[in-house]
Amino acid sequence: MREPAAGTAHVPAPPPGAVDVLVAGGGPAGRALAAACARTGLRTALADPAPDRPWRATYAAWAGELPADLPAEVVATRARGRAVALTEHRLGWEYTVLDTAALRAHLDAGLSGVTVHRAKVVGSEPGYARLADGCIPARLVVDATGHRRDRRPAAEQTAYGLVVDEAVAAPLVAPGEALFMDWRQDHHRPGGAWPTFLYAVPLGGGRVLVEETSLARRPGLSLPELRERLHARLAHRGVRPPADAEEERVRFPVEGPIGATLAPGPAFGAAGALVHPATGFSVATALRLAPLLAEALAGSAPRRAARSVVWPAQARAVHVLRHRGLEALLRMPPDRVPAFFEVFLGLPAHHRWAYLTGRADLPGTAAAMRALWARADWPLRARLVGPALLPRARPATTG
C-alpha cells in the first residue's frame, strides 16, 4: 500500500481516543519499539495475548552489535568466540549472551507511559487495530508479532540443548570461551545425513548451554533427531549431563519477505525479516533500530520514513544477497557443508564481520562474497553460483 504524499490526498481523521502507535507483539523487538515510541512523546499502546509470559529463549549477539547505551547488567557473559569446521578458528570477536530477565526488566521499565492490552491483533485498517473480538483505535499499527509462517515450507533453524555446569561442559568449551559452531561429525552421522553442529556458550552463574543445531533446513530438522545427536556427541566427548538438566528447544524460520502481515502498517523484529539467515540473530538489530524507527514514526509520513529507516535500499540489497547464500547452503551436499564453513571462517575478519553483521553494508557484503568465491575450489563454486540460476531448493525429505 503506497502512502500518499503530504497534502495530496485526504487523510481520515483518527477516531476519538486513538493512540499514535500500537505495537502488536510484546517480545524484545515489540517492547523495545513501544518504549522508544513513548520516549519520543507518541501516545503508545502495546498489544500481546500474554504480556506477562516469561521469555525462555537464549538471546545472543556479537558485542559490537549491541547498542552502546544498553545497561551492563543486561549482558550475562562476554566470551572469546571460536569455531571448528575442518580446523579450529579463533574468531577475534567478543560473543555476548544476554541475561533474559535483565533484558525484560530493562525494556519493561520503558513501558511506564505505554498502555498494555492483553489482546491478539489479527489485522489492521486505517485508524484501527483489529482484534478477534473488537478493535483498538490507533493511527498506526506496527507488526512485531514474531516469526511469520509462509504458505510454502520455510527454511528453519532448529536446535535442542541442555544447560549444564561449566565443569560438566569443560571437555567442550573452556571458561571464558564461546564455541560458536563445531561441525565435527566424528561422533555419529550416517552418510548423507543433514549436517548439524555443536553450539556451546556460557550463560553466567557457572552454567553453559550445549546445543545441537541445524543451521538451516527446509523444513527444519526434527527436535528428536537433534536430541539424539546431541547425546551421541556428548557421550563421544566424555560429557555426562545430569538427567534433570534444563532443556532448550529452538525452532524458527530464517527466511521471509520484507513486509507486514498486519498491513498497511510497518513490520519490525522477526516479523519484519530482521533475522539474519546465517546466524538466526535479530534481537541486537531490533534494539539498535527501535529508537530510529520511533523517531521516524513521529514524523509526518511515518510509513515511508519507517521503510527508509529499517529497509533502506542497501539493506534490501544485502537481504537479497544473504538469501542467495542461504539457498546455496540448502543446496549443498551434506559432506560439503563443513568445507564451506572452513573457507568462510578462513576469510579475513573484516569480510566475516561484514557478512555476519553489516545489514546495510552492501559493498562489504559483496566483497565478502567475492573473497569467498576466490578461496573456494571449483566444486564449491558450482554450489555457490547455483542459487542465482536455479529455482528455490525443494524441501528436504531425509535427515
Task: Establish if 88 belongs to a structural domain.
Answer: no
Predicted TM-score (pTM) of the model is 0.91
Q: Do 129 and 30 lie in a common domain? A: yes
User: Strand runs (DSSP E) across the chain, as ranges?
Assistant: 19-24, 44-48, 60-62, 75-84, 88-98, 114-118, 121-125, 128-131, 134-143, 156-165, 177-182, 197-204, 207-217, 246-253
Q: Give the total number of structural domains in the chain.
A: 3
Q: Is 366 part of any domain? A: yes
**How many whole angstroms separate alpha carbon 371 and alpha carbon 369?**
5
24 and 140 co-located in one domain: yes
What integer pLDDT is reported at residue 20 of this predicted model? 95
The CATH number of the domain holding residue 170 is 3.30.70
Q: What is d(CA 140, CA 346) in angstroms, rounded to the nearest whole number?
A: 46
Give the residue carrying C-alpha cell 559493498: 363
Total length of the chain: 399
User: Domain check: are 270 and 212 in the same one?
Assistant: no
Per the structure, the complete domain to which residue 378 belongs is given by 315-389
> For residue 236, is pLDDT > 50?
yes
Residue-wise pLDDT tens digits, 196-221: 999 999 999 999 999 999 999 988 99
Are 207 and 161 contained in the same domain? yes
Are both 194 and 293 inside the same structural domain? no
**pLDDT 10s digits, 250-303:** 999 998 777 656 556 899 999 999 999 989 999 999 999 999 999 999 987 888
Q: Residue 295 maps to which CATH number?
A: 3.50.50.60
Mean pLDDT of 372-378: 95
Residue 154 has a pLDDT of: 84
Question: Which CA distances in Å does 301 have to 225, 296, 305?
Answer: 49, 8, 6
Is residue 141 located within the same domain as residue 265?
yes
CA distance 380 to 228: 30
Is residue 366 within 8 Å of 325, Cβ to Cβ?
no
Domain boundary pick from 293, 311, 329? 311
End residue of a domain, out of 253, 268, 284:
253
User: Is-contact 183 279, C-beta < 8 A?
Assistant: no
Condensed to tens digits (0 to 9), the pLDDT of residues 10-58 reads 445 566 789 999 999 999 999 999 999 999 999 999 999 999 999 999 9
* Residue 150: pLDDT over 70: no
Q: What's the CA gap between 37 and 21, in Å, rounded? A: 8
44 occurs within a structural domain? yes
Q: Please indicate, yes or no, if residue 7 is contained in any of the structural domains.
A: no
**What does the mean pLDDT of the chain come to?**
90
Same domain, 369 and 327: yes
- The residue out of 213, 236, 253 marking a domain boundary is 253
